[in-house]
Amino acid sequence: MNLEPITFPWLTLLIVLPLLAAALSLVLRKHPVFSRWLALGITLAVLAITIGIFIVADGRGGWLLYEDYPWIASFGIRYTLGLDGISLLLVLLTAFTQVLAILISWHRKYQMAVFYSMLLFMEAGIMGVFLSLDLFLFYLFWEVMLIPMFFLIGVWGHERRVYAAVKFFIFTMAGSLLMLLAIIALYLLHGQQTGDYSFALAALKNTSIPPALEPWLYAAFVLAFAVKVPLVPLHTWLPDAHTEAPTAGSLDLAGLLLKTGLYGLIRIAFPLFPEMAAASLPLLAAFALFGIFYAAWIAYAQIDAKRLIAYSSVAHVGFMVLGLCAWNVTAMEGSILLMFSHGITTGALFLMMGMIHHRTESREIGRLGGIWGKAPVLSAFFLFFALASLGLPGLNNFVGEILILLGAFHANPLWGALAMGGVVFAAAYMLRLVQGVIWGPSEGRTEEITWTDLHPRELLILAPLAVLVLWIGLYPETFLAPIREPVRNLLEGASLVAMKGGLP
């Protein structure tokens, strides 16, 4: 394998840099301007590292980077990080999103340093989730990313922030506690069987689980991840959390947190329980299909623009889960690409709603409208990202969606045909959003305020997103190449961790 001798701990750096900056920010919370620049500098540094890895990796397969140290030896807990093509895309998305999260919160007033600190903590947590190959470590990071989000919503959110934060916390907590029990059960089973007590994913994969217990353990993992994804009907925390969170929080929720659930399914749940996974795919697909329509339908009825986008996210993750369930190369690659794409378009839409809300202090579709006449550049960007979100060919989401649809149809024609119908629903709610925000007569809040079009900082946020939308839409190969081999390995059930990773 292309395992390189431990050279420089780049992966650790991806986690430690934001962690240190977060701590420093907390300590120096009397100096918000310093912590702001610190946050920007660190997130930029992390982004630079991930881009560097992306370029050096150049579509290679296998583990691109790998680190493994003993940690709590008495319990067989190790500090194992690994980066392959799938995690690479998500790590890149995380690093990129977090820079934007800092930039969009540039002028936040209340407890600014703590706010940035939370964003940095979250970055560390999410990076950890995408990189950990030791289940104990994974669980640790899984919980770590929950806490800053809880505070982001609960402290800096909109009107019903406390309700939303608590709801978010309880939903995800319930899920992750189930997972913790399942992890411990696996750990004990494996230890009893082999005498080797270990949390390493690679080791636990070979545990033989009593058939009566297996469905429960699998269900515990899947439930934990399905809450995060979220799969209908476990989704009701999401509209509240997305809507009430500050813009940076909505951005992170939609762009990153949802992806941790999907990543968990791909990286942990499916490989740990291959037979169970195979048996459950049709059921998961049914939930996914139901979710595509159910969420899209509800999105259409929304009055709050942020809530509409939130529900659109639920519909989109339905497509992603469907792609996983199809269990073939095309659909799986489509799913992973859509995970990346969706982070960009939905993130962009949340960012833009933040910009509009900042100007108008309204998110209500009925009170906005006619913005094109006031701020054409802003409106043009909004239209552009909305079109990307509804899956217009040539823009990013289409590529992922059509791959999922092609793969799903191949796996089961009914899945593909039904899901294809979902695109009309997507058009219905997205066009309603566009109609309510930028077209129509300018009345209500649009008319009452004096408008400024995008200023340079906002342009700086949106332009790279727009470039990525076109890039993935027109030349997705850049982002498909790194995931090709990992996807093949996953599907062939080849040993997920090719080496004896995480074993003492």
Partner 1 sequence: MNPNLLFIIPLLPLAAAVVNAVAGQFLPRRLSEGIAVGAVGFSTIATLLLWPLVDAEGVRAELYTWIASGDLRIPVEIVFDPLSASMTLMVVFVSTLIHLYAVGYMREERDYARFFALLNLFVFAMLTIVLADNLLLLFLGWEGVGFCSYALIGYWYREKKNADAGRKAFLVTRTGDVFLGIALLWLFSLTGTLSITGINQAAFDFGSGTLLLLTLLLLAGACGKSAQLPLMTWLPDAMAGPTPVSALIHAATMVTAGVYLLARLFPLVSLSSTGMAVIAAIGAASALYAASCAVAQREIKKVLAYSTMSQVGFMFLAIGVGAVGAAMFHLFTHAFFKALLFMGAGCAIHLTGENDIFRMGGLGRRAPLVFWTFLAGALCLAGAPLTSGFFSKDAILLATFAGGGVFQRILWGVAAATALLTVFYTFRLVYLVFAGSPRAAGEAHRLPGVMRWTLPPLAVLALAGGLLNLPVAWGGSGVLNSFLGRFAGREIHASHALEWGLAGLATLLFVLGWLLARLRYRPFPEERISPARDFLLRGWEADRLVSAVIVRPFTSLARILWQRGDRKGIDGFLEGTGHLLMAMGEGLRRATTGRLHSYLGGFAWGLIALLGWMLLRYAF
Residue numbers 373-392 binding partner 1 by CB under 8 A:
373, 376, 380, 383, 387, 392
Q: Does 3 bind partner 1 (CB under 8 A)?
A: no
Q: Which of residues 333-362 bind partner 1 (CB under 8 A)?
A: 333-334
Pick from 372, 381, 382, 385: which binds partner 1 (CB under 8 A)?
372
Dist. CA 100–CA 251, nearest whole Å: 9
Nearest Cα residue to 145 out of 158, 132, 156 = 132
Give the nearest distance from C-beta 70 to partner 1 in angstroms.
26
Task: Kindly state the tokens that stand for 488.
Answer: 């093949």
Restricted to residues 435-494, the positions that interact with partner 1 (CB under 8 A) are: 435, 438-442, 474-477, 480
Min CB(209)–partner 1 separation in Å:
9
If binding means CB under 8 A, how many residues of this protein chain bind partner 1?
A: 73
Nearest-approach distance from CB 417 to partner 1, in angstroms = 5
Task: Decide: is 212 part of the binding site for partner 1 (CB under 8 A).
Answer: yes
CB of 473 vs partner 1, minimal distance in Å: 9
248 and 105 Cβ atoms separated by less than 8 Å: yes
Minimum distance between the CB of residue 180 and partner 1, rounded to whole angstroms?
Answer: 9
- Token representation of residue 290: 């139901």
Q: Specify whether the CB–CB gap between 416 and 410 falls below 8 A.
A: yes
Instruction: Name the residue nearer to partner 1 (CB basis): 14 or 152.
Output: 152
Query: What single string gives the DSSP state of each residue in 299-312?
Result: HHT-SBHHHHHHHH
**Which residue number, 96 or 169, has a Cβ lying nearer to partner 1?**
169
CA 391, CA 401: separation in Å to the nearest integer? 7
Binding marks (x or -) toward partner 1, 402..431, rule CB under 8 A? Answer: xx-xxx-xx--x--xx--xx-xx--xx--x
Report the C-alpha gap between 64 and 62 in whole angstroms.
Answer: 6
| CA 197 vs CA 75, 177, 501: distances in Å | 7, 21, 14
Q: What does residue 476 show for φ and ψ, rounded to 5 degrees?
A: -70, -10
Which residues lie below 8 Å from residue 195, measured CB to CB, with a gap of 6+? none
Tell me the per-residue interface mask from 213 to 252 with partner 1, x by CB under 8 A, - otherwise.
Answer: x--x---x------------x--x--x-------------
Tell me how far, at minimum, the Cβ of 304 lies from partner 1, in Å: 11
Q: List binders of partner 1 among 255-274 (CB under 8 A).
A: none
- Find the shortest distance in angstroms from Cβ 102 to partner 1: 27
User: Shortest approach of partner 1 to residue 178 CB, angstroms?
Assistant: 6
> For partner 1, which is the closer residue by CB, 34 or 439?
439
Q: Which run of H or E residues covers position 68?
A: strand 65-72
- Give the H/E segment covering residue 272: helix 270-272
Of 12, 111, 328, 495, the one binding partner 1 by CB under 8 A? 328
* Distance separating alpha carbons of residues 112 and 9, to the nearest angstrom: 31
Contact set for partner 1, span 135-194 (CB under 8 A): 163, 166-167, 169-171, 173-174, 177-178, 181, 185, 188-189
> Looking at beta carbons only, is 20 or 180 nearer to partner 1?
180
Among residues 16 and 491, whose Cβ is nearest to partner 1?
Answer: 491
The whole-angstrom separation of Cα 150 and Cα 164 is: 9
Residue with tokens 């008495």: 74
What's the alpha-carbon Rg for the chain, to the nearest Å? 22
Q: Is 304 near partner 1 (CB under 8 A)?
A: no
Work out how close the CB of 439 gets to partner 1 at its nearest, in angstroms, rounded to a whole number: 4
d(CA 300, CA 436): 12
